[in-house]
């Protein structure tokens, strides 16, 4: 079997699955910041309950997402040693910052937030959650900066066939970075909003006893999705303009495409330097899903108050729309990555030179093992989230539960006997 094909399939599988965890993490943490801040300002108990309920789902996704991220990191060293050797001096800088941010700062803030309920002052406790959110966005910032360099290498020089970073600021001013990062953040907010709305819709369809609780979270989720799906589409189209200039073989005019192909042929020799048509197909389906989500959100904005719930069928539409932002995110990610082919680093490093020199059997074993492990994490995450979401907010959630007071009778000293 072709080791390169298996390595590419494994990379696509691991990054796509891990990206789903990232979307939920970034979307829910933003909503949690709003909920707990509203609780801090208004002192309304419903916001505390909302924070505890959605915070439980966030913690589940975060823990399993970290595990999925660790698994994904291993496949870089195992399958892409050529890539690591060639761009390690460049790509290592943002990855190191991301690791310090995610595994140290973000995890520390989250741990203190989880165990700080009823132990820390409310302002300090809220500040910890803000810290979790900010470090989560910083982590995503550096990951996207590293990926943008692979799409459009800047600020480097070649020494003995290895790329060395010479201008760190070029990483964050890369034309392939800014719009992509903003687009990804809006995708996470749409995903978080639809997830919150869909879970709330399911409880309202079942005519839950906690009507007001899920009515409020339905509104928050739909308003979030409605406010962010428009900018999501806008920055998606803006990206096309940038990438058409940076990667003319994918989105450029026929003249620009022909000129770039001729440049590649002159530099690297004859070869097929056109990206697969699947890149454009994925992009088209992604935009179709985006417009469908616009229609789903508009039904909330146009219907009078609570008619959405009384009619009930819009709740089913929201529920069945839950997979759409996840599917669109994967399609968008595939369009970005497949469109770079046949390059690991656009115009510099072909994927043939980036893959590790291992046999097809070893690569197949690696592919099956990593896919099974990540698939298990994803399924476990979904089952746990679905289980805790189905229980509703009236159950005694472990997150934020007041610490048990010791029984005074157990603290009495035992009588002394002569």
pLDDT band at residue 102 under the 50/70/90 scheme: confident
What would the pLDDT profile of 204-214 be if each residue is shown by its tens digit?
Answer: 998 877 888 99
pLDDT band at residue 396 under the 50/70/90 scheme: low
pLDDT at 406: 54
pLDDT at 152: 92
What would the pLDDT profile of 42-80 be if each residue is shown by its tens digit?
Answer: 999 999 999 999 999 999 999 998 888 887 777 777 888
Lowest mean pLDDT among 246-255, 299-308, 403-412: 403-412
Average pLDDT, the chain: 87
What would the pLDDT profile of 125-155 be if each residue is shown by its tens digit?
Answer: 999 999 999 999 999 999 899 899 999 999 9
* pLDDT over 90 at 35, yes or no: yes
The tokens for 188 are 């996470």
Output b/e per residue, 12-23; b: 16+ Cβ within 10 A. Answer: ebbbbbbbbbbb
When pLDDT is averaged across residues 85-97 and rounded to a whole number, the result is 82
* pLDDT over 60 at 413, yes or no: no
Instruction: Tell me, rounded to whole angstroms, the distance of Cα 373 from its chain centroid.
Output: 19
pLDDT at 84: 84
* pLDDT over 50 at 118, yes or no: yes
The tokens for 95 are 């990855």
Pinpoint the alpha helices (H) of 43-163: 45-79, 81-100, 107-115, 122-151
Instruction: Tell me, rounded to whole angstroms, the distance of Cα 394 from its chain centroid.
Output: 29
Lowest mean pLDDT among 4-13, 217-226, 317-326: 4-13
Between 92 and 146, residue with greater pLDDT: 146
Between 327 and 94, residue with greater pLDDT: 327
Which residues are CB-contacts of 79 (< 8 A; sequence separation ≥ 6)? 7, 10, 11, 355, 356, 358, 363, 366
Between 37 and 246, residue with greater pLDDT: 37
Between 309 and 414, residue with greater pLDDT: 309
What would the pLDDT profile of 153-180 be if each residue is shown by its tens digit?
Answer: 999 998 888 899 899 899 989 999 999 9
């Amino acid at each position: 079997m072709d080791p390169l094909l298996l390595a590419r399939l494994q990379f696509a599988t691991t990054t796509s699955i891990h990206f789903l965890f990232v979307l939920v993490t970034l979307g829910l943490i933003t909503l949690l910041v709003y909920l707990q801040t509203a609780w801090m300002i208004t002192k309304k108990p419903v916001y505390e309950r909302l924070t505890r309920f959605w915070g439980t789902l966030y913690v589940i996704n975060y823990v399993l997402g970290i595990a999925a991220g660790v698994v994904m990191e291993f496949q870089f060293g195992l399958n892409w040693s050529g890539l690591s050797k060639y761009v390690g001096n460049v790509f290592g800088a943002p990855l190191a910052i991301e690791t310090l941010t995610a595994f140290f700062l973000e995890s520390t803030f989250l741990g203190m937030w989880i165990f700080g309920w009823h132990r820390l002052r409310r302002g300090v406790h809220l500040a910890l959650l803000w810290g979790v959110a900010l470090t989560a966005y910083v982590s995503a910032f550096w990951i996207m900066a590293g990926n943008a360099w692979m799409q459009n290498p800047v600020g480097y020089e070649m020494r003995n066939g290895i790329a060395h970073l010479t201008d760190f600021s070029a990483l964050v001013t890369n034309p392939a970075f800014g719009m992509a990062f903003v687009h990804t953040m809006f995708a996470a907010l749409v995903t978080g909003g639809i997830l919150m709305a869909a879970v709330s819709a399911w409880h309202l369809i079942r005519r839950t006893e906690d009507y007001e609780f899920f009515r409020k979270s339905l509104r928050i989720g739909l308003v979030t999705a409605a406010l962010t799906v428009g900018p999501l589409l806008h920055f998606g189209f803006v990206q096309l303009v940038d990438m058409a200039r940076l990667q003319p073989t994918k989105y450029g005019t026929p003249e620009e495409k022909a000129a770039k192909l001729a440049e590649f042929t002159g530099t690297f020799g004859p070869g097929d330097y056109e990206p697969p048509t699947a890149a454009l197909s994925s992009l088209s389906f992604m935009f179709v899903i985006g417009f469908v989500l616009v229609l789903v959100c508009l039904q909330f904005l146009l219907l009078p108050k609570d008619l959405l719930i009384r009619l009930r069928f819009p709740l089913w539409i929201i529920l069945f729309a839950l997979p759409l932002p996840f599917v669109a995110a994967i399609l968008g990610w595939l369009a970005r990555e497949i469109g770079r082919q046949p390059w690991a680093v656009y115009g510099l490093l072909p994927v043939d030179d980036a893959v590790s020199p291992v046999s097809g059997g070893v690569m197949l074993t690696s592919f099956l093992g990593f896919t099974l492990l990540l698939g298990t994490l994803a399924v476990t995450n979904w089952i746990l989230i679905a289980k805790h979401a189905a229980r509703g907010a009236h159950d005694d959630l472990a997150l934020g539960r007041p610490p048990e007071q010791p029984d005074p009778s157990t603290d009495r000293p035992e009588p002394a006997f002569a």
